[in-house]
Chain A
């Protein structure tokens, strides 16, 4: 059941992403991207990351995409001519993306288990089972502390300093956006 739902949303995500990069109209491209993000949120729920799924819908599909649509409509870009590159650009894109896809596919086939088996051949390393202690960590954490608690504890303990630095980043982004968008500085 879970697998069927996963493949349904995965197909939806890939089809929406294809339509997003091929739509001529920026508004429809943005709406297909929203569809991709919703599919990814559903996949996060299937992967036991309910909080991340909620944040995905709120921040990405909500705030960020509204910002994009707002700028598209502010600049009145709804009816532009096709902006897809010429034949040489398309050929270069196909070659580069094909190489990248082959590379990622090879990397995907290189599973942790295979790496562990290869490490077991090398005597310098210790027990490969210890190096790749794969348990259902997320599910255990969620059962122990709840969906939000499993994220809140490391966020405000281990990662407190990066979290505070994030606030400085956001402040810089706010100031930068206001300065850049002003007519006269």
Chain B
């Protein structure tokens, strides 16, 4: 069954993903940490799908689709920003700063 250990692992991975988002300034590494968080949530869905039916698997399916779409669009935005600023460091991206 392994429901409890799976949920604990998922919590640890999600916290690590949040830590990465807060610690790093590289926009691409930030995106990778967001993928890590999505993976942690997927693990929760799979663990509960064992008990409560296949709907959990379907939601994992949709989460993966959204993650792939998000990665494609997000990386295109990073490419556009890099072309403008020659950097992906979040410190240098301050267009809204005035």
Contacts and interface: CB of A to CB of B under 8 A. Distances in A.
Q: How large is the interface on B (under 10, 10 to 19, 20 to 34, 35 or more residues)?
A: 35 or more
Interface in B42-61: 42-43, 46-47, 49-55, 57-58, 60-61
Interface string B65-90: 11111111101111110110000110
Contacts of A150: 54, 57
Interface of B (DSSP majority class): helix
Nearest to B68: A64
A87 B70 CA distance: 31
B96 interface: no
9 contacts: A10-B5, A21-B29, A52-B57, A83-B24, A85-B24, A104-B11, A105-B11, A139-B50, A173-B68
Interface of B: 1-2, 4-9, 11-20, 22-26, 28-29, 31-33, 35-36, 39, 42-43, 46-47, 49-55, 57-58, 60-62, 64-73, 75-80, 82-83, 88-89
